[in-house]
Amino acid sequence: MKDTDIKRLLYTHLLCIFSIILSIFIPSFFLENFSILETHLTWLCICSVFVTAVNLLLYLVVKPNASSKRSSLSYKVTRFLKCCIYFLMSCFFFHVIFVLYGAPLIELVLETFLFAVILSTFTTVPCLCLLGPNIKAWLRVFSRNGVTSIWENSLQITTISSFIGTWLGAFPIPLDWERPWQMAIERKYKMCTSLYVCTRHGASHCPQVWPISCTLGATFGYVAGLVISPLWIYWNRKQLTYKNH
């Protein structure tokens, strides 16, 4: 394993982090009243688009995995379509998981779905870029002794840390610190005290707070993973021996 590889990894990761930072600041030039907390859903969409774009770009430029043998156009198109379908499926899958974990079933569907989209962006999109629409390869990467390159290793770390961040992001939900991103907004809107249930006057009257802590958690987890994985690989570069190298 060469140090140049690790350097490339670090630069790509820095670019990803940069794209997230851009998604926070750029829209405020074009949109009025834009802020992460107040217009959270817009930010979610923008962030998702930015991160996806950067990931695709990096995939095309860096080409971390060996180029596939066939490169006909039709093959590429089917591959791309397959990737899209996989992405959508993962969004729905995450949505179902969130509902099973206690997210509201009927109310706030859009919020939950966008949360699923952003989590898919942080986890599924890098997988698709690196491994392609190949479930077996995914399963291999996410098992013990399954990684075969530093790219896959970093993919493992960022994905797992995104999940952990999302999970930790659920913890502030019951607290009543009366932060704007939390549920207790009684002073402003008397009818919405619980995060999930804004029933009395319908969900539309409430400022949407539901996925904020979780999406922020996912973002922080993703960023942390991006920072940690090159460092971790650099630290353990002596011990890491990949089977196919």
Partner 1 sequence: MQKISVLLFLAWVCFLFYAGIALFTSGFLLTRLELTNHSSCQEPPGPGSLPWGSQGKPGACWMASRFSRLVLVLIDALRFDFAQPQPSHSPGEPPVSLPFLGKLNCLQRILEIQPHHARLYQSKADPPTTTMQRLKALTTGSLPTFIDAGSNFASHAIVEDNLIKQLASAGRRVVFMGDDTWKDLFPGAFSQAFFFPSFNVRDLHTVDNGILEHLYPTMDSGEWDMLIAHFLGVDHCGHKYGPHHPEMAKKLSQMDQVIQGLVERLENDTLLVVIGDHGMTMTGDHGGDSELEISAALFLYSPKALFPGAPPEVSRFLHTYSAAAQDLQVKELHRLQTLFNKASADYQRLLQRPQGPEAALQTVITELQQFLRGVRAMCIQSWARFSLGRMAGGAALMAAACFLCLLVSQWATSPGFCFRPLLTLMACGLAGTIVCAGLLTTTGLKLDPVVLGAMAAAGSLLPFLWKAWAGWGSRRPLVALLPIPGPVLLFLLIRFAAFFSDSFVVAEARATPFLLGSLILLLIAQLHWEGKLLPPKLLTIPRLCFSASTGPPRHNGTHALGLGVGLLLCIRLAGLFHRCPEETPACHSSPWLSPLASMVGGRAKNLWYGACVGALVALLAAVRLWLRRYSNLKSPEPSVLFVRWGLPLMALGTAAYWALASGADEAPPRLRALVAGASVVLPRAVAGLAASGLMLLLWRPVTVLVKATTGAPRTRTVLTPFSGPPTSRADLDYVVPQIYRHMQEEFRGRLERTKSQGPLTVAACHLGSVYSAAMVTALTLLAFPLLLLHAERISLVFLLLFLQSFLLLHLLAAGIPITTPGPFTVPWQAVSAWALMATQTFYSMGHQPVFPAIHWHAAFVGFPEGHGSSTWLPALLVGANTFASHLLFAVGCPLLLLWPFLCENQGPRKRWQPLGRNEAEARVRPEEEEEPLMEMRLRDAPHHFNAALLQLSLKYLFVLGIQILACALAASILRRHLMVWKVFAPKFIFEAMGFIVSSVGLFLGIALVMRVDGAVSSWFRQLVLAQQR
Residues of the shown chain interacting with partner 1 in the complex, contacts defined by CB under 8 A? 97, 99-102, 136-137, 139-140, 142-146, 148, 167, 170, 173-176, 191-194, 197-200, 243-244
Q: Closest distance between partner 1 and the C-beta of residue 52, in Å?
A: 25
Specify the residue, 82 or 140, whose C-beta has the smaller distance to partner 1.
Answer: 140
Specify the residue, 12 or 162, whose C-beta has the smaller distance to partner 1.
Answer: 162
Specify the residue, 35 or 193, whose C-beta has the smaller distance to partner 1.
Answer: 193
In three state form, how does the secondary structure of the chain look?
A: CCHHHHHHHHHHHHHHHHHHHHHHHCHHHHCCCCCCCCCHHHHHHHHHHHHHHHHHHHHHHHCCCCCCCCCCHHHHHHHHHHHHHHHHHHHHHHHHHHHHCCCCCCCCHHHHHHHHHHHHHHHHHHHHHHHCCCHHHHHHHCCCCCCCCHHHHHHHHHHHHHHHHHHHHCCCCCCCCCCCCCCCCCCCCCCCCCCCCCCCCCHHHCCCCCCHHHHHHHHHHHHHHHHHHHHHHHHCCCCCCCCCC
Q: Closest distance between partner 1 and the C-beta of residue 68, in Å?
A: 15
Specify the residue, 142 or 234, whose C-beta has the smaller distance to partner 1.
Answer: 142
Specify the residue, 73 or 106, whose C-beta has the smaller distance to partner 1.
Answer: 106
Q: Closest distance between partner 1 and the C-beta of residue 146, in Å?
A: 7
Q: Closest distance between partner 1 and the C-beta of residue 197, in Å?
A: 5
Q: Closest distance between partner 1 and the C-beta of residue 102, in Å?
A: 6
